[in-house]
Structure 1
Amino acid sequence: MVKEITCNQTRVVTTHRVMSADLNEHETMFGGKLLAMVDAEASLAAVRLARGTVVTASMDHVQFTRPFVLGDAAELQAFVTGIGKRSIEVFAKVIVEEMATGKRTLGFSCFMTYVAIDEAANFTDYRLIGEDDEQAFLMETYQNRREHRRTERENLAAVNAHVNLDK
């Protein structure tokens, strides 16, 4: 029996106010802080599909497109865009809102891949349904990103075979 799930059923939306503790020496939000926030929140979208524990497998197509400054709001939105046997792809975007003006711009986006730790997990009978143009496009292009990740894993394995652990 096919289990249908919409992207919106997995959607996570959180808002973070950029505070001085979030800033780097350039007076913009530290990238590592943003990456940690994205991973923590986007994993919830994957768990909404898996209904079990998942681990982060990869973060790719990472784009910092606008800096976040003191007083901005960082609105993170994440939802599932692709499903493998045990893997779940989540698209995450962070919208910068200038609180003084209300102007909103895309500040960051990426794709996260999570894997269910339960080896018996199997999502092949799930059917993901997009509900708007953004979701439909991201779902349509999922297989291309999945193939790209497979190729990248193979390339990384070749690199890792030459990494010296003694130096």
Structure 2
Amino acid sequence: MILTCQQTKATQAHLITYPYLNEHKTLFGGQLMSWLDESGGISAVRLARRPLVTASLDHLDFLHSLAHSEMVCIESYVSGAGKRSLEVFCKAIGENLLTGERYLANTCFMTFVVLDKEIVLPQIQPETQEEIFICGGYDARRQKRKADLAGNLELAKHMQLDGLISKD
């Protein structure tokens, strides 16, 4: 089975107001991450049609701050699929609602893993120039994530866990 990126697309719009602001009166990065995870998860489920979990978030690049009273539109779609894992591309587009100026505020790649070990994920078919470009880098990003995970697992072997919580 093959699905198009468009068939997995999710779009959300949010007005940037309190309580989502940091001390600079711009969108708190953690809130944006939450919205990205939500949108990315919707796209992932649209491909898998099964329960899944977020495994990683790669290259969360903050390109432009999102200011108070502006709007952010988050778009996500599946950009590659393996056996049980799939990659979702997310972008956040800011808009000054008074002037109509739009700008790219953020991009990231997220990896989700399907909990069902017997699943065969559909493959993804890009159609637009953007989708073809994004999906064309999937294999290289996947290999890099595998190498990064191996390095992180090795790092974890050397982490001291004693003394983090008081026993008193």
Q: TM-score, normalised by structure 1?
A: 0.95
Aligned to 1:74: 72
Tell me the distance in 2 between the aligned counterparts of 1:156 and 1:70. Answer: 37
Q: Which amino acid aligns with 2:88?
A: V
Aligned to 1:158: 154
Tell me the distance in 2 between the aligned counterparts of 1:122 and 1:151. Answer: 24
Please give the secondary structure, in 2, of the residue aligned with 1:22: coil
Q: Number of matched residues?
A: 163
Aligned to 2:102: 104
Q: How do 1:47-66 residues align onto structure 2 when only pairs under 5 Å count? A: 47-66=45-64
Structure 2: any 5+ residue segments left out of the alignment? 164-168
Aligned to 1:33: 31
Tell me the distance in 2 between the aligned counterparts of 1:148 and 1:127. Answer: 20
Structure 1: any 5+ residue segments left out of the alignment? none
Aligned to 2:130: 134
Q: Share of identical aligned residues, percent?
A: 37
1:19 maps to which of 17, 21, 26: 17
Whether the aligned pair in 1 keeps the contact of 2:80 and 2:123 (CA below 8 Å) is no
Aligned to 2:91: 93
Aligned to 2:139: 143
Tell me the distance in 1 between the aligned counterparts of 2:37 and 2:124. Answer: 21
Tell me the distance in 1 between the aligned counterparts of 2:119 and 2:129. Answer: 30
Tell me the distance in 1 between the aligned counterparts of 2:146 and 2:116. Answer: 21
Cα deviations across residues 43-94 of structure 1 (Å, max 9, x unaligned)? 0000000001110000001101111111110000000000000111000000
1:139 is displaced (CA, Å) by 1.0
